[in-house]
Structure 1
């Protein structure tokens, strides 16, 4: 008997999607599900969800949006995505692992 494809491949990695806004990236991964939307532009707003709080604490991040099955992160103008994406992906992966 064959195992289902996801069992063979394991969890899908976090995918990074550019958006029309050059300072925003959308992140998706299997297992991301949010009960309701959260748009956080302050630490206080971000504190309402552990993932939002961790992402908002990153240097150069000024907004975090959690909705349905994806996360959108806005970086400050002038910051490089190469410096932001790896940290965001690491935080999402740790969150999905239960950490």
Structure 2
């Protein structure tokens, strides 16, 4: 098994491509070791000193490290944990693990439901594929009808990335405002 690595725009996050499906569909963000208990691979990665965050994408995973740790020391044990997991044949999630990783499914009605559907479609077809190239994901959280603000969750390499606010404002906000005139702005949620 050959696992490729790629840098991301976030210097504290490295993208790992195992050459096979990770999530298949959807994504999953593990922000701490407690959340990682749902996945044997995520738990193993969090057991490595210096690992701060793990994100599973369709065919990749990203690992975030603490700033005072160096990739030259972390990369080999991370690669070993990924290889051990995929060669063992273990499932990615424990039987009871929540595998959700999509947009928030809040209930909207009438014209607002159509606006939200357009926003999600743009995210899925134009924005998320581009962001996945950098090892991250952007998910719809909610739309405030009164203000026209769209709230989005930044995940994976995008979460905490120095260029994420520029991505949101210059890229995502401009595109959503262009195609969905009801959108007045975009904000990040945690």
Normalised to the residue count of structure 1, the TM-score between the two structures is 0.82
Aligned to 1:40: 30
Q: How much has 1:57 moved relative to structure 2?
A: 1.2
Number of matched residues? 88
Q: How much has 1:45 moved relative to structure 2?
A: 0.7
Aligned to 1:91: 81
By relative contact order (CA 8 Å, sep 6+), the higher-ranking structure is: 1
User: Which of 43, 51, 73 is matched with 2:63 structurally?
Assistant: 73
Give the greater-gyration-radius structure (CA): 2
* Range with greater deviation from structure 2 (46-55 or 26-35): 26-35
Q: Which runs of 5+ in 1 are unaligned?
A: 1-10
Normalised to the residue count of structure 2, the TM-score between the two structures is 0.44
Say whether 1:28 aligns with 2:10.
Answer: no
Runs of 4+ with deviation above 2 angstroms = none
What is the distance in 1 between the residues matched to 2:70 and 2:20? 27
1:40-76 CA-partner distances (Å, limit 9, x unpaired): 1111111111111111111001100011111100000
Say whether 1:15 aligns with 2:9.
Answer: no
Q: How much has 1:85 moved relative to structure 2?
A: 0.4
CA-atom RMSD in angstroms: 1.3
What is the distance in 2 between the residues matched to 1:20 and 1:41? 19
Q: Which runs of 5+ in 2 are unaligned?
A: 91-190
